Amino acid sequence: MLEVSTPLLGAHTVSDPHIASFVIEGGAQQGFLQTSPEFSMKKLLADDSGPIYSLGPAFRAGEMGGQHRPEFAMLEWYRPGFGLGQLQLEVISLIEYLGQQFPLKFPQPFIVSYSDLFKQRFSINPHSADTQTLKSIVADVFPDHSGHLEGQDEGEKDDLLDLLFALGIEPGLQAPHFVTGFPESQASLARVGVEQGDRVALRAELYWRGIELANGYDELRDANELRSRMARDNRIRSARGLPQITPDEALLEVLAKIPPCAGIALGVDRLLMLLLGKQRLADVL
């Protein structure tokens, strides 16, 4: 696998309404500190790079807390020819290997679907539940958080699901868990498939001690679909008074040239924190 170095400053950034990028002004030029090396690495994949990885800083504005920092270390890699299952096994092997040097060992992860977690915790199918049902659950189970949602727009259901997951499910994922089958509307740059009769994002997120460690995709290679998702993100951004994000046309142009592959990003600082048995990122930075 080839190590690559990608630009920290780019002309484009992600359109996800929940991710804020640092904007850098320099005379007549404007750029963004990259929230991950994803866009650059996918251009390399489209140029026949083969399997690649990047280890370096990533930046997200407005993120500060015990498990969040505006600058953090990210390990991201892509495996042409891999599916999500193979990638999950590689993540497990990597963390087990690293864990040999640390006091806290990494147990074998469980694999569980997003849908099953919601059925166990809230007795609903998150893919088919409507917004009103989710609002009622939030009001009943987490009444103090009912007023913290963004508002009525295309992203409202996802915000409700995110709140229920963060407050009602994440804290219970103390043993390592790979969560699969996220809602189709949360696919980001992942492909979509069918799981238990529902259309879902082909994603796998790794949680340990209630903290998200890694996020992997069966990678999307359809430029028209990605353009449609970016347009939806911008509609949500517009409804919430957030700046519009111009699509990266260079990425869209080569997306179909990416070989079938899976990729994942892992938060290195968080992993070190957990392997050392610490509670805050500040203890390991």
Ranges of each domain in the chain: 2-283
Q: Is the dihedral of CA 156, 58, 85, 223 positive or negative?
A: positive
- pLDDT interval class at 151 (50, 70, 90): low
CA atoms within 13 A on the CB side of 3: 3
Which secondary structure element, helix H or strand E, spans residue 79, and what is its range? Answer: strand 71-80
Q: Say whether pLDDT at 209 is over 90.
A: yes
Mean pLDDT of 253-260: 97
Q: Which amino acid makes up residue 155?
A: G
Instruction: Give pLDDT tens digits for 21-74.
Output: 999 998 788 899 999 999 999 999 999 999 999 999 999 998 777 788 899 999
User: Which CATH number is associated with domain 2-283?
Assistant: 3.30.930.10
Is pTM beyond 0.85? Reply is yes
Confidence check: pLDDT of 104 > 70: yes
DSSP-assigned letters across all residues of 94-137: HHHHHHTTSSS--PPPEEEEHHHHHHHHHSS-TTT--HHHHHHH
Burial of 228 (0-12, 13-18, 19+ CB in 10 A): exposed
176 touches 108 (CB < 8 A): yes
Percent share of the chain, pLDDT over 90: 82
